Amino acid sequence: MLRASLRTAVPDCARFMPDPAASESHALLTALRQQAQHWLATRAISGDTLREALPGIWLARSGRERVPSAALYRPALGAVLQGAKQVLAGDRVIDYRAGEALLTRLPVPARGVVAAGNRSAPFIGLVIELDPPLLRDVLTQMRSAPAAREVTAFSVVSLQAAVLDCLLRLLRLADDNEDARRLLLPALQRELALRLLQGPEGAAVAALAQPPPEARRLGTALRTLQRDFRQPLDVTALAKRAGMSSSQFYRRFREATALSPLQYHKQLRLLEARRLLQQGGTSVASAAFAVGYESASQFSREYSRLFGQPPRHTVAVSRERR
């Protein structure tokens, strides 16, 4: 380490020598953004949209900063190609921008918002669903495999050149012919799994492929909640299923998801109710009772708190679109 007295002797040019790895990543990010813009332009997509480019691979575009939108985040890599995004999970605020990605390892209700994007420089994102069995298969074949560690649902990763290169070839494949897409997609998905496991967040990705014992038991409880969200919440039964005491389960659940079991349960109900209202043909009261609420007024209050609009607004918008 240089001593303070010697730092002035370091030539200025040495401090600003270009980093070859950073230069390569910047060039690949630019090429990836241009490929995404080309894919959208050739399909005459200019407004706010979320389109599937390949199976399990989605392009998002937004020409304006947006209010938080609630959704169930599932295991995926959400890369920002232009602009910035923010995710709100419980009391946790996660910011990430161009050249970074949100790595989601557990299914968690959260609110996402476009934090930077306008008409001249719209937000552009690329979402790649992650397949735990594929990751597990690649992990077991690696000679230098990362050791899985206990992780939370979300983390922000810097997109390395190897990952950016793989994403670029995936997006180019979306413009290729049907035979190329069918035959080459599995190989590129496998390569992406390897690059993620070899990257700085390899241990966290490995935890998605082969969760440590406690995380695996917590995952069982999450799947039970997703399946039985219409039923009254029984934290004691969930804790027993996870092999934990109620206090330990509550603490680990909140550490992993940034939500309490009650908040998680409630948001699953409200997300399903919104889906029912958006597809039409369902009244507000019917949607409330269908997801397990016993009081339509309580449902309306909690719906408005999560989505920023009362359920009748969702019904009205759904009717206008039909």
SS3 of 48-91: CEEEEEECCEEEEEECCCCCCEEEEECCEEEEEEECEEEEEECC
- Give the pLDDT confidence of 69-90 residue by residue, as tens digits: 899 999 999 999 999 999 999 9
Query: What per-residue confidence (pLDDT) applies to 12?
Result: 55
Degrees (nearest 5) of the Cα angle 142, 108, 278?
125
Query: What per-residue confidence (pLDDT) applies to 3?
Result: 41
Does the pLDDT at position 172 exceed 90?
Answer: yes
Which burial class, exposed, middle or buried, applies to 72 when counting CB atoms under 10 A from its CB (0-12, 13-18, 19+)? middle
- Give the pLDDT confidence of 49-70 residue by residue, as tens digits: 999 999 999 999 999 877 678 9
The residues pairing with 112 across neighbouring beta strands, listed in sequence order, are 69, 87
Query: Could you tell me the pTM of the whole model?
Result: 0.88
Query: What per-residue confidence (pLDDT) applies to 7?
Result: 39
Query: What per-residue confidence (pLDDT) applies to 68?
Result: 77
Query: Which pair of structure tokens corresponds to residue 25?
Result: 């990543």
Average pLDDT over residues 257-274: 96
Task: Provide the percentage of residues in the chain whose pLDDT is more than 70.
Answer: 94
Q: Which amino acid does the sequence have at 78?
A: G
pLDDT band at 41 (very low <50, low <70, confident <90, very high): very high
Does the pLDDT at position 194 exceed 90?
Answer: yes
Query: What per-residue confidence (pLDDT) applies to 64?
Result: 84
Does the pLDDT at position 276 exceed 50?
Answer: yes
Query: Which pair of structure tokens corresponds to residue 282?
Result: 């369902």
Average pLDDT over residues 131-144: 95
The domains of the chain, with CATH numbers, are 21-209 (2.60.120), 213-321 (1.10.10.60)
- Give the pLDDT confidence of 13-33 residue by residue, as tens digits: 545 556 777 889 999 999 999
